[in-house]
Amino acid sequence: MDHYKHITIDERETIFLMRNHGNSLREIASHIKKSYSTISPQFTIQVQYPDD
């Protein structure tokens, strides 16, 4: 059984702000203390569906 770790709204905001400032996903993951594999799909989802 997979154990997906949810990301809070504040963490999502941090991810997108840091990404817009040029930080890598690995840097962002380290900053918010989540694994790269947790935040990577989140970024991909928003890139594909930015208006959702």
Tens-digit pLDDT profile for residues 5-32: 688 999 989 988 999 999 999 999 999 9
pTM of the model: 0.67
Write down the pLDDT at residue 33: 92
Question: CB–CB of 39/12 below 8 Å?
Answer: no
The secondary structure of residue 35, as a DSSP letter, is -
Give the contacts of 26 (CB within 8 A, at least 6 positions apart).
36
